[in-house]
Structure 1
């Protein structure tokens, strides 16, 4: 297992950062021996980073930060952006392609929340753990 217990990266606020952030998380999970969380953790990261790209009302030059933190038997996925506006769990449009992200996060994560961060903006995080039978 890797000695590094946290992976922090900054991304330009553009759609192409989503697959890059997913790749960093996939690598961290493999290094930490948590590959069984990959499917759900990548879904969470995709939704949270996509929300930051699409909805964080901040200047285009501002970056998004991802933090992947190794927990005892799981991982915390954090996405930081400079917008103070919290994400809203909307009413998903059955015929549209949006509005379901936070529902999906809530469905697969053990818990998730929105909190403050050092500096302007917010952090949205979710924790996932390996389920013990």
Structure 2
């Protein structure tokens, strides 16, 4: 884990289900986010990491989580080596999955997908964190 002046954290994680919990613990431990902001950030990060594990990086590749704060914003980014871009979808009511990006869109102040150095993509979300 890399930290820079308490404004930036970068974490490299293996393509393993336990990485979701490790990312969430690192976020909450490092940031000390209060109440609802912490819960929302942890949920959003969990969704992004889960998507990267399920649909992103091929076996044997790491995912990279970056968290930064500044100018009243908290930014969460998850990079993976997969080429498939995330697409929100409308699942049937009985589907057990497929709601992650709808949740991200509903809870984040903004979100998107960007390129990254090397193969793959970076999926990011921002949350307003003015008095934190």
TM over 0.5: same fold? yes
Structure 1, unaligned runs of 5 or more: none
Partner of 1:119: 118
| Conserved 8 A contact 1:26-1:35 | no
Partner of 1:14: 16
TM-score (structure 2 length as normaliser): 0.89
| Conserved 8 A contact 2:24-2:42 | yes
SS in 2 for 1:125: strand
Q: Distance in 2 between matches of 1:79 and 1:27?
A: 18
SS in 1 for 2:24: helix
Kindly provide the CA deviation profile for residues 61-96 of structure 1, in whole angstroms up to 9, marking residues without a partner as x: 100000001122231000000012101111223112
Q: Distance in 1 between matches of 2:99 and 2:61?
A: 25
Q: Distance in 1 between matches of 2:104 and 2:46?
A: 10
Q: Distance in 2 between matches of 1:23 and 1:4?
A: 16
Matched, 1:28 2:27: no
Report how many aligned residue pairs link the two structures. 127
Q: Distance in 2 between matches of 1:116 and 1:12?
A: 20
Q: Moved runs in structure 1, 4+ residues, more than 4 A?
A: none
Partner of 1:53: 53
Kindly provide the CA deviation profile for residues 40-66 of structure 1, in whole angstroms up to 9, marking residues without a partner as x: 1011101000000011152x1100000
| Conserved 8 A contact 2:57-2:80 | no
| Conserved 8 A contact 2:75-2:127 | yes
